[in-house]
Amino acid sequence: MSNVIVIGAGIAGIATSLRLRKAGYQVIVLENNNYAGGKINALSKGGYRFDLGPSLFTMPHLVTELFELFDLKPSDFFDYSRKKTICNYFWEDGLKFSANAHLETFIEESSETFQEPKESIKNYLHKNKMKYDLTAGLFLEKSLHKLNTYLSKDTVKAIIQLGKLDVNTSLDSVNRKMFKNQKLIQLFNRYATYNGSSPYRTPGIMSMIPHLEMHYGTFFPKGGMHNISKTLFELAKSQGVVFKFNEKVEHINVVNKKAVGVVTRHQEYKANIIVSNIDIFSTYKNLLKDQKQPKKVLQQEKSSSALIFYWGISKEFPELDLHNILFSDSYEKEFNSIFETKELCDDPTIYINITSKEEFSDAPKGHENWFVMINTPSNYGQDWTVLKTRARKAIVSKINRILKTDIETQITTEYSMDPLEIERNTGSHRGALYGAASNSKLAAFMRHRNFSSTIKNLYFCGGSVHPGGGIPLCLLSAKILGDLVPKPHTNV
């Protein structure tokens, strides 16, 4: 039987292993860490459970369809619920807005709160949907580097209506054309952070991102985010995928421009197909040192990273939900710090995720588990010890002001992660959460393709390659790859 080596057991690596196993390959996944899931991991500390990585769950069908591949009923293995509130937003002047998941209710309430015409909000959301419908089949579900992608009716339709996609203007500019209220503009600008970019530089086509949240919904997986990777890992094992942990791949063997196997710290493996699920920069710099390097791709501007504090809180805050945002007073200053000066803003926007709002066992009774994150530049040699100390003071001060509390006295346990630690733990180059930033209209085309154009039988998946970072896009990268890899019975 033809066999596949997948390097890295992140969510895309697990999904790829399932798709290629279904296709008839014998699959071995080699993982440097002693666990599966990559960034989707968890920590238990002081009676609290924390999801360490991604905290937003959208498009759950991309998870459930992996069970359906094997004729299994997804709900027998994986359960989730839809959220009625997308996110709670807070500003320094005391304004609070809860974004309702019901579209008509959101339009009504946001119109009233931000004093914007309902029609303006409705038209904006309609345009976002149109952008997604026109481009999803091209940018998210297919390889951008195969000719047949551009020969479809959907592609022709998208090209004809290119002017409607706002690729030549920024997301911020699009939002300012639609709205006058600065807070509503800021609310919609924040969606640039979903791919680690700046709303003042990322193209306006990215306004389709809120459509995914508002149309398809946001969800919470029973057992927490870590349960996504855990259940898919168990599914893969049950279908015969072999996982080998603490097995660091040191080199991809290439003979006559064809990938033929890998070398780990322990042994050599031969394979018909090699898939790298690790960061594309690390793949070339560490595993393909003797091969031609795609310099333009590897030199791309990196996405933002994060500074995260995991706090056990000895109090319950009824005004908070699963997802909460405490906005900075100057978003433009904040993103200038992240992408231009590569520093931290003195007044950062704070994201607080509290899974104990949904999964009560994640914190002791009367307590909450806080995942407190700010966006940061990726690692360029900054002194993160100094920056972390300074940021923590700013975060505590802002939380105290907005929530009218003394949060420092309520922290019972603490763990933190900065860009250096993210890079060390996940292998993401410079700790960038999404690989390359999407701060130009060509960013989607500049992402590394899901296959090698110079080395036969070598493929790539995960957040640092097409179509991008985040759980849905990582799962889509596996789906794209599954369509690219030839069936085992063909000449590979």
> For the chain, give me the number of helices (H) and strands (E)?
16, 20
Categorise residue 38: left if φ over 0, alpha if ψ from -120 to 50, beta otherwise: left
Structure tokens at 324: 């909460």
The reply to whether 292 and 242 lie within a common domain is yes
Q: Which of 163, 182, 216 is the last residue of a domain?
A: 216
Neighbours of 180 (CB within 10 A): 12
- The answer to whether the beta carbons of residues 189 and 89 sit under 8 Å apart is no
Distance CA 370, CA 66 (A): 31
> What does the alpha-carbon distance between residue 385 and residue 402 come to, in Å, rounded to a whole number?
26
Domain edge (last residue) among 216, 237, 267: 216
- Residue 53 belongs to a domain: no
Contact present, 46 and 40 (Cβ < 8 Å): no
Number of domains making up the chain: 2
- Domain match, 173 and 239 both: no
- Decide if 423 is inside a domain: no
What does the pLDDT look like over 60-71, one tens digit per residue? 999 999 999 999
Q: Provide the phi-psi class of 320: left if phi over 0, else alpha when psi is between -120 and 50, else beta.
A: beta
Instruction: Compute the distance between CA of residue 482 and CA of residue 461 in angstroms, rounded to an integer.
Output: 10
Annotate 106-139 with b (16+ C-beta within 10 A) or e (fewer).
Answer: bbebbbebbebeeebbeebbebbbebbebbbbbb
Instruction: Please report, for the domain that includes residue 475, its CATH number.
Output: 3.50.50.60
Q: What is the DSSP letter of 286?
A: I
Structural domain containing residue 38 = 3-43+62-77+223-299+441-484
**Residue 470 falls within a domain, yes or no?**
yes
pLDDT band at 165 (very low <50, low <70, confident <90, very high): confident
Encode pLDDT of 185-201 as tens digits: 999 999 999 999 999 99
Say whether both 203 and 229 belong to one domain.
no
Percentage of the chain exceeding pLDDT 70: 93
Instruction: List pLDDT tens digits, range 387-425.
Output: 999 999 999 999 999 999 999 999 999 999 999 999 998
Per-residue pLDDT, 150: 44
* Segments in 220-341 forming alpha helices (H): 226-238, 280-282, 295-298, 331-336
Claim to verify: residue 208 and residue 125 sit in the same structural domain:
yes
Using one digit for the tens of pLDDT, what is the confidence trace for 209-246?
999 898 889 999 999 999 999 999 999 999 999 999 99
Confidence grade of residue 441 (pLDDT, cut at 50, 70, 90)? confident
Distance from the first to the final alpha carbon of the chain: 12
What is the CA angle 270-272-278, rounded to 5?
Answer: 80
